[in-house]
Amino acid sequence: MSAVSAEHINKKYGQITALKDISFETQKGEIFGIIGPDGAGKTTLFRILTTLLLADSGKATVDGNDVVQDYKEIRQKIGYMPGRFSLYQDLTVEENLTFFATIFNTTIQENYALIKDIYQQIEPFKDRRAGKLSGGMKQKLALCCALIHKPTVLFLDEPTTGVDPVSRKEFWEMLKKLKEQNISILVSTPYMDEASLCDRIAFIQEGEFLEINTPAGIISEFGEKLWAVEGDDMYKLLLDLRSNPHIRSSYTFGEYHHITVDDTLTMEALKEYLTRKGNTQVQIREIQPTVEDCFMKITERKQNG
């Protein structure tokens, strides 16, 4: 039995399509990532799967329970960490955790082993009000509260947004440990670098799933030469790259422009072309694609039909 299953889920807000024909299945004990920009439909999908919102059409199950008919059972089984910090700001760390344990008829002690590694990091601040915690500490507290009743499926909606890089790294290490305890995890994120930390990922754009595969599987399907280009005037360089008919795609990627090219173009010919256009200090090298490069390619392919 799958951990989560969705079939042809659709949702509109007035004339705006939030989700369009979403279908997927996740396995037990899997970290399944939903990767896409803000406004792509990630939160709407999570709210449907956690029984907080009704889809216009389609059906979904969580741990074998229907999200409409069995919503009470699902709410007892899942952990949900929404994108915005939603705990009680005026309660202390310990009071928040005790409150959530009580709701699920359990205690902190009963499932302490599940949250021990996480809670030990915030225990020195157990008497501090939640609203006074740092972003990383709020994140850890929210995860503890989502885990205190030992859920079978954990939903994390953009859990690392606005959190410092060290806390982001720590958070993903925690998720790996939770996976080892056979907890199924669905996590959404706008950060492409986090995609490689999932077992499988789904790209979402404008309410549609563009591709579902392992990170390695998606990268292996890239199938084009990818070059990184830099020069003294990066804006002019990008315009000149886009004017070359042998360049299939070009976009800014950090301090470089990433381009895909047809087989007739050589690095020497491209450098000569850019120099003739007045670019200086031009450097070109071949690189391996990342998940973000794949997302850009798949998105462009969809836009071009």
**Mind giving me the DSSP string for 282-301?**
-EEEE----HHHHHHHHHHH
Residues 220-246: pLDDT tens digits? 999 899 999 999 999 999 999 999 999
Q: How far apart are CA 39 and CA 204, in angstroms?
A: 10
CATH class in words for 223-288: alpha beta
3-state SS string for 219-267: HHCCCCCEEEEECCCHHHHHHHHHCCCCEEEEEEECCEEEEEECCCCCH
Q: What is the pTM of this model?
A: 0.87
Residue-level pLDDT at 203: 95
Average pLDDT, stretch 292-300? 89
Residues found in the chain: 305
Residues 125-169: pLDDT tens digits? 889 998 898 888 888 888 888 888 889 999 999 888 877 788 788
User: Model confidence at 305, in pLDDT bands (50, 70, 90)?
Assistant: low
Q: Where in the chain is the domain with CATH 3.40.50.300?
A: 4-219
Residues 181-208: pLDDT tens digits? 889 999 999 888 889 899 999 999 999 9
Residue 31 is classified by DSSP as E
Q: Are 143 and 187 in contact (CB under 8 A)?
A: no
Q: Where in the chain is the domain with CATH 3.30.70.100?
A: 223-288
Q: Which of 47-51, 81-85, 119-123, 174-178 has the highest mean pLDDT?
A: 47-51
> In the CATH scheme, what is the homologous superfamily, with its name and number, of domain 4-219?
P-loop containing nucleotide triphosphate hydrolases (3.40.50.300)
Q: How far apart are CA 208 and CA 303, in angstroms?
A: 12
Q: How far apart are CA 169 and CA 147, in angstroms?
A: 19
Of all residues in the chain, what percent carry a pLDDT higher than 70? 99
